[in-house]
Amino acid sequence: MSNYGVRFRSFFVYLSLMHMKTEHLAQLPITAPSARPASASDFAWALVAMGVSLVLVWAAAPWHAYSAWLKVLPYTPLIPCVGIASVFIAVSFFESMTHGVETADAMPSIHSLQLGRVAVRLCGVVATFALVAFVYWLLPEYHSDFYEPYWRYLKTLAPLAVLMPVYLLWADRRFSPKSDEYLQFGYLLTRGWKAVDALVIRHHLLAWLVKAYFLPLMTVYLSREMASFYDAILHSGHGTMHAYQILFHLCYLTDLMFAVVGYTLTMRLLKNQIRSVEPTVAGWVVALMCYQPFVSVTSRAYTSYEDKTYWDNLLHPWPTVQLGFGILIVSLMLVYCLSTAAFGIRFSNLTHRGIITSGPYRFSKHPAYLSKNLSWWLISVPMFSELGWSAALRNCLLLMLLNVIYYARARTEERHLSWDPVYVEYAEWMNEHGLLAPVSRWLPFMRYRRTVHPPDIREDR
């Protein structure tokens, strides 16, 4: 059978399974797992890394006498990020040396070193960076001052480029040429399409699309949030709202530090490479709707649920109630930032880099989405409006629409991660033992349902 015939058959099977009725899927034999699967990232070390990063955040504060010396770095928020990365890199190497854990640095050599192959791999790396740079140059979005912190971030990391040849020499003896994406991309440029695996090239381009889109946003947000955190501390205020502002920005700051590290450190050396990328258009659409520049359009035109009647103004006459409300919001934000920290150096949107089952994920499959959406209800209190009951009803409906978008994100992520049997085991365990398990028995749409993917189309990494 020709390649086109195989692809057509695979596509037909895919469509057939996509349209399989739910009751057919429910008939599949399912045995509830007896234990929660181990997490791909150790939450205890995530807490250690968080502590190290917060110490470095304080050390990099502008009120210290030596702060002027730190300005030699174009992007100072990278300092606490280095602390997070250092903890997980040290843990990875220590485990491989002392416990015999099968990490990438302990990989045995499977090839003899070939400098020609290293040169092709280097060609793939340079071509990848050149392609990303071309996209940034081409799109007007990246010419705005909004992304200025990102260019400073790249300038700070630029000296590390001298280590790339060393990494490629190490990788040449250990990675299979058939699955090495940079080598395959180099072959594409030097030998053409017939010499490469199209699925590997597709995975490589999609993975870099994710990084090229999200990393600029995370570095910009981190730079702004770090400045906001310092401003909140220096602000000449006191009382509930002053403490609330400090803790609120601290939670978002922690979240963004782990996000920047996750997008930056993506390599097989640390076994945190991208194994697969979200394969559906729907998954990409509902995710991108929540980030710049798309969120500006969707929020302004469709989900603008705020009319400046915030919780602090509403509860100002009742200080004790205001304090309790603030503690509840900060608690939700703490869950949100711990959910990102639980990934360690594996965090990134639209990708599968290992199944996380510890930390907040011990209690919910989507603790970040749940805590964030609940906090929006408490912060904006859309059910109260100075414009009357109709405006309040409208605000509630619009926020519910935003909640539905995040529910769609959760469902598309579940379908993607279900390619991994570890996730299937984890999700089915959560059906019985998760925090919302009792609720899901009454609301079946909240329960995980196993899905089937055709083996011809799976991308196991």
Q: What is the pLDDT of residues 326-342, one digit of tens each?
A: 999 999 999 999 999 99
Q: What is the predicted pLDDT for the residue at 108?
A: 60
**pLDDT given for residue 30 in this prediction:** 52
Taking 70 as the pLDDT cut, the residues of the chain under it are 1-32, 99-110, 236, 452-461
Strand partners, 280: none
Burial state string for 286-299 with b = 16 or more CB within 10 A and e = fewer than 16: bbbbbebeeeeebb
Predicted local confidence at residue 453, as pLDDT? 54
Distances 405 to 195, 243, 299, 369, 410 between C-alpha atoms, Å: 41, 31, 12, 10, 9
pLDDT digits (tens, 9 = 90+) for 5-59: 444 444 444 434 444 333 333 344 455 677 999 999 999 999 999 999 999 999 9
Could you tell me which residues are beta bridge partners of residue 42? none
Q: Which residue has the tokens 């089937």?
A: 452
Q: Using CA atoms in the order 34, 406, 262, 433, what is the torsion angle rounded to 10 degrees?
A: -10
Angle (CA) 278 280 286, round 5°: 85
SS (H, E, C) the chain: CCHHHHHHHHHHHHHHHHCCCHHHHHCCCCCCCCCCCCCCCCHHHHHHHHHHHHHHHHHCCCCCCCHHHHCCCCCCCHHHHHHHHHHHHHHHHHHHHHCCCCCHHHCCCCCCCCHHHHHHHHHHHHHHHHHHHHHHHHCHHHHCHHHHHHHHHHHHHHHHHHHHHHHHHHHHCCCCCCCCHHHHHHHHHHHCHHHCCHHHHHHHHHHHHHHHHHHHHHHHHHHHHHHHHHHHHHCCCCCHHHHHHHHHHHHHHHHHHHHHHHHHCCCHHHCCCCCEECCCHHHHHHHHCCCCCHHHHHHHHCCCCCCCCCHHHHCCCCHHHHHHHHHHHHHHHHHHHHHHHCCCCCCCCCEECCCCCCHHHHCCCCHHHHHHHHHHHHHHCCCCCCCCHHHHHHHHHHHHHHHHHHHHHHHHHHHHHCCCHHHHHHHHHHHHHCCCHHHHHHCHHHCCCCCCCCCCCCCCC
Task: Using alpha carbons, select from 107, 120, 132 the residue that is nearest to residue 204.
Answer: 132
- Inter-residue contact 207 to 351 (CB < 8 Å): yes
Q: How far is CA 27 from CA 219, 427, 451, 452, 453, in A?
A: 46, 17, 11, 12, 16
* Closest to 37 measured CA to CA, from 427, 438, 417, 434: 427
Predicted TM-score (pTM) of the model is: 0.89
What is the predicted pLDDT for the residue at 302?
A: 86
User: Roughly how many angstroms between the first and final C-alpha of the chain, as a whole number?
Assistant: 26
Q: What is the pLDDT of residue 454?
A: 44
In whole numbers, what is the pLDDT of the chain averaged over residues?
Answer: 88
User: 131's torsion region: left (phi>0), alpha (psi -120 to 50) or beta?
Assistant: alpha
User: Are 112 and 173 within 8 A, CB to CB?
Assistant: yes
Using CB atoms within 10 Å of the CB of residue 426, give its burial: 0 to 12 exposed, 13 to 18 middle, 19+ buried: buried
Q: Identify the sign of the CA torsion 189, 193, 196, 200.
A: positive
**pLDDT value of residue 306:** 86
What is the pLDDT at residue 193? 93
Q: Does a cis peptide bond (omega within 30 degrees of 0) precede residue 159?
A: no
The crossing angle, in degrees rounded to 10, of helices 164-172 and 115-138 is: 130
